[in-house]
Amino acid sequence: MAKKPSKPKAQANLKSLAEPPAAAQRQHPVPVSFSEILGQDRALKVLTDAIRSGRVHHAWIFHGPSGIGKFTAALAFAALILDDTTKVKGDQAAVASDSRVKHLLASGTHPDLHIITKELARFSDDAQVRERKLITIPRDVIDTHLIAPAALAASLPGGLASKVFIIDEAELLDRSPNNAPTQNAILKTLEEPPPGTVIILVTTSPDRLLTTIRSRSQQVAFAPLPDAAMKQWLDEHKRTLDPPIDADDLPILQSFASGSPGELLIAHTGNLASWSRALDPLLAQCDSGKYAPALGPTMAKLVDEWAASVVEKDKQASKDAANRAGAELMFRLLSQRARVQLRKNIGMPERHLGAINSIREAERQLDAGVQAQFVMEWLSTQLSSSCDAMLV
């Protein structure tokens, strides 16, 4: 989120109730067409057809793997349905060049576009919510930034919608006993939406949303980008990346990304190519039938260093959550390598499948609360009998 000017806490808290949506817009530039979104023709056709029909459903779920354009599509869809100059010609929806809404969105000051993320907890009027580690989207954020403004009149005349709310990482509204009331609060708004209000939930895990929320929402599936779209994305962005992608790293990053530009960026900035190189000789030991005692500690060390860097950059980030995210990156790196070997028919297929099954079991252990270090140690012993699946 954009930083607030220094001011007394009471004033800052009251002011934040109005300001975070605009701050979120500034953090996430809002496109006013679907032209920036690559490889999602089917999903974009659903959205364009809805605009063409002149009637837009009040609740949407954009779901699919992370980093493939769901959130960007939600922003573009919001821009198009908020603007009364939007026209559809052929398969393209666009706004007028002199549109007031377009300029408000470009400056991040449109009062009726509300972007809701877990980071809004930092602006809560409740000190406990502000100081809590950012693991879920708390009820306070939903009450303040969705329920309350949804009940108010729109600030500006709208188009097909007068107000749009985008909930990013909606899977963080999980179904635990503590957070089910949060989803129920959203459900009430979905059941009786104020006129002109559109809510878009962006998620990688729609199954973590209440069945009643899913049944009241129009779901749009987003898929990993095909190779041609990934190449186009790389051609458009590789010169602007800092640091630039090393040519030797690119095959590793592309394999990990599996059609997700966002995941490629995570792998690049997280230096996952170096993980691969650090693990290769240890996995080679497994390949020869030997137990690699350093494999588990090395995996744990790489994950811990990655998590520490996340927490260093964001003091409110949870170290436990960062460790979990790092472990998931490790599992995906190993799983992707095993799948590559399986596709290439290298070695014995049963060993590749054994490696993938061991990684899935490690994921279950992590979900059950086992510490990442112990999970990595267990996984290293399992891979001793199937590690040839890991080698590219």
Q: β-strand 197-203 against 163-167: which pairing, if any?
A: parallel
> What CA–CA distance (Å, rounded) separates 372 from 324?
7
> What CA–CA distance (Å, rounded) separates 230 from 119?
29
Q: β-strand 92-94 against 218-221: which pairing, if any?
A: unpaired
3-class state of residue 13 by DSSP: helix
> What CA–CA distance (Å, rounded) separates 326 from 324?
5
What pLDDT shows up at residue 371?
85
What pLDDT shows up at residue 202?
98
Helix pair 250-257, 272-287: axis angle to 10 deg: 90
What pLDDT shows up at residue 129?
73
> What CA–CA distance (Å, rounded) separates 248 from 251?
7
- DSSP annotation of 153 reads P
Q: What is the mean pLDDT of each run of 10 residues along the chain (392 residues)?
A: 38 38 58 93 97 96 96 97 95 92 90 92 75 78 92 91 96 67 87 93 94 96 96 90 90 92 92 93 76 89 92 82 90 85 68 84 89 88 63 44
- DSSP annotation of 134 reads S
What pLDDT shows up at residue 260?
95
What pLDDT shows up at residue 348?
64
What pLDDT shows up at residue 82?
97
What pLDDT shows up at residue 131?
67
Report the first-to-last Cα separation within the chain, whole angstroms.
39
Hey, CA dihedral for 385, 336, 273, 204, is it positive or negative?
Answer: negative
Residue (of 321, 325, 239, 324) closest to 66 by Cα position: 325
Residue (of 303, 229, 230) closest to 270 by Cα position: 303
Helix pair 372-383, 349-367: axis angle to 10 deg: 170
What pLDDT shows up at residue 10?
34
Helix, strand, coil shares, percent, the chain, to 5: 55, 10, 35
Q: Tell me: cis bond preceding 65? Omega within 30 of 0 counts.
A: no
> What CA–CA distance (Å, rounded) separates 162 from 56?
11
